[in-house]
Amino acid sequence: MGRSPRSVLIVDDDPDLRLCLRSLLEEEGYQVLEAADGDAALAACDQEPTLVLVDFHLPGTLTGSALVTALRGCLGPRAWILLLTGDESLRSRVTELGADGLIEKPFDLPDLLHLVEQHGA
């Protein structure tokens, strides 16, 4: 499938959060993909999202920095990867982890939308 200039992959195990983010982003004209875990996120790579919002602390075997590394490997440097986390200690390690930025939970939806727009999705 071709690369959409406005596609976002939401990777979070919380279905309510995914639904909220999907609704917000679709209202703004984004194509939205969802994944509840790391394996599903990697399966969505063939859709070539331009931005990935990743919950850093997912359940399962593929989570955290391993997931970011795997996503970077399949999407390359053109995709932006933003971490979604309540762990503010990750802020100083964002680049080391292979991500392009961090959104701290809880977040304000208009602020999140602004960050999505900034990061080229």
- Domain range list for the chain: 7-118
Residue entry with tokens 């394996």: 39
Strands (DSSP E) contained in the chain are 7-11, 31-35, 51-55, 80-85, 101-104
CA 40 from centroid of its chain's CA atoms: 12
Per-residue confidence (pLDDT) for residue 117, from 0 to 100:
86
pTM of the model: 0.91
Q: Which fold has domain 7-118?
A: Rossmann fold (3.40.50)
Q: Could you tell me if residue 3 is left (phi over 0), alpha (psi between -120 and 50 degrees) or otherwise beta?
A: beta
Express each pLDDT in 96-115 by its tens digit: 999 999 999 898 989 888 88
Please give the Cα distance from 73 to 103 (Å, whole number): 22
Helices vs. strands in the chain: H and E counts, helices first:
4, 5
Express each pLDDT in 29-85 by its tens digit: 999 999 999 999 999 999 999 999 999 999 888 988 999 999 999 999 889 999 999
